[in-house]
A and B are shown apart, each in its own frame.
Chain A
Amino acid sequence: MLSDPPILSLDRLTKTFTLRPIFGRATQVEALRAVSLDLLPGRALALVGESGSGKSTVGRMIVGHHAPTSGRILFEGRDIAELTRRGDQMRYRQAVQMVFQDPFSALNPAHTIRHHLQRALSLHQPEADPETALREILDDVDLDPVSTPSKFPHELSGGQRQRVNFARALAVRARLIVADEPTSMLDVSIRKSILALMQRLKTEHGLSILYITHDIATAEYLAEDTAVMFRGQVVEKGPTAQVVGAPQHGYTRLLRAAVPDPSIRLTGSDAGFAQDARQVRAASAAAVRGMTEVSTGHFIADHAAGDHATAETERADA
């Protein structure tokens, strides 16, 4: 598996947004700072981080909503900025599909599910019998192929709508799905079933998935590889078993420790956590000078000014 070339590579991707308020000076926000990642075919890469860490910006740049300030996005080895022929661009946009966080606004309320899926099917699978293809695709995402097509989005639950969004990606024969928090607006009791659906699309259809989430527990469930982002930089990446199971970077450890664990009672006297959190955040925000490989394929960031190391020592003492 590891010898396969990546389906998608981000090469020192940087994005700077310029905010121009009505009054006052324009300010620059560095949303991404030199992000490099590889996504291997048929696997899921989880991109984990807090809100504002830049993880959604990565997703939006891959599907072309934003252009990079610098750096490259390589799809099967080709820089997508160099896809100048219309045919190539179309093929890329077909191969890479996005599933959004909000399943309620991603579908057109005035059209049936049949309309949503058949448009995609007729454009991308014109040779197939439309009704059979529709049924197959609904079957693939565990929706009832008989009753679902004639329904409108408001007649479906959030989880079912999210399944329609995945069906739409299947209808255009996507090879890479960028799923931006696909479960965070769903009820807890159906989150796992959507994760299971993604798992199955990956193993049965060989889809690659970039799974953007703030929930490290779901990353462990779905993704073979995990990258952790903080303030626009990747601070740790590698196989999920290592990154989530035995995190090495201070920020990943903090994130890991903060995941609610019903077997641990919190008390008010634990002031150490907040103090740690402040130190780790300050240290992790410093520019990344390079990545150190701590075990095979498992990298952690070296931060400038060396304050990361100090924070780690203090943490150990605490």
Chain B
Amino acid sequence: MSDLLTVEGLRVDYLTAGAPFTAVRDISFQIQPNEILGLAGESGCGKSTVAYALMRLHKPPALVRRGQILFEGRDVLSFTDTQLRAWRWSEVSMVFQSAMNSLNPVMTIFRQFHDMLRAHGPITRADAMDRTAEMLEMVGIPADRMQAHPHQLSGGMRQRVALALALTLLPKLIIMDEPTTALDVVVQREILQEVLRLREKLGFSVLFITHDIALMAQISDRIGIMRAGEIVEIGTASQIVTAPVHDYTRSLWDAMPILANAAEKGPAHAV
């Protein structure tokens, strides 16, 4: 199978007054169609910088120094602004770390969908409404809430709206940067199961970025562990869980307080 996304020797520097700071050091990885790749690491390891660079959302002083990003064989780094605008959201979308704050507070939910839909092709208001209703129901929000403003929704609902927005144009890849960090565990679980259900239905790939490797192990197919701008280990989720090779991966696991009897007393519903 050919890769959906290929990253080859990507290096991202932050220009500073002194020597440039290399946030991402020549990393390479691939994402297959319909795959969830997890990228784990501590704050400052460069994982969010990777996400931003992939969508070419990085801004100065961040600078892609070398490397290649191929999306279905097309070179993303050479896209023109027009190509980029068409590519973002329709083929790759992103759910941000504070997705609940990434919605525009003075626009209704519907207007935010409408804006995005219009930017990607002609659409009538009625059609946009139908599409918004369909997407909101898909993530478990009653369609009539499209007339609400973001502050009238709970944090979990706003996160679902952000997810619905990211899915509306049926992208092939969704980059999720700490999508559930601000939510409590019950809501987090509900949203991630929604993501998995939608992936089965729609068949997109996900680059899932978080510092919570236990959570990542539950949903990713493969996991890459990042430290100081490098991927120190990459493997299948079960290998990273049961047989981590790199010392740093092992130290991440050791640092996690994990419920003592979690394994024997598995919750009734998770299989």
Contacts and interface: CB of A to CB of B under 8 A. Distances in A.
Contact of B252 (A188, A253, A264, A267): A188
A188 B255 contact: yes
Contact of A189 (B199, B255, B267): B255
Contacts of A254: 186
Interface residues of A, number: 44
B212 A260 contact: yes
A286 interface: no
A44 B258 CA distance: 19
A253 B268 CA distance: 10
B101 interface: no
Interface stretch (B67-75, B116-124, B168-176, B190-198): B190-198
Given A274-B140, A274-B193, A262 B259 contact: no
B241 A262 contact: yes
A270 B271 contact: yes
Interface residues of B, number: 51
B5 to A, nearest CB: 22
B42 A277 contact: no
Contacts of A255: 185-186
Contact of B211 (A187, A215, A245, A277): A187
A263 B262 contact: yes
B190 A277 contact: yes
A218 interface: yes
A76 interface: no
Interface in A192-234: 192, 195, 214-218, 220-221
Contacts of A256: 259, 267
B200 interface: yes
Interface string B245-271: 000000110111111111101111111
B184 A51 contact: yes
Given A261-B263, A265-B218, A271-B197, A189 B192 contact: no
B41 to A, nearest CB: 10
21 contacts: A51-B155, A188-B211, A188-B212, A188-B256, A220-B260, A245-B265, A256-B267, A258-B186, A259-B259, A260-B215, A261-B262, A261-B270, A262-B218, A263-B262, A264-B271, A266-B193, A267-B196, A268-B195, A273-B270, A274-B140, A274-B194
Interface of B: 42-43, 140, 155, 183-190, 192-201, 211-215, 217-219, 237, 241, 251-252, 254-263, 265-271
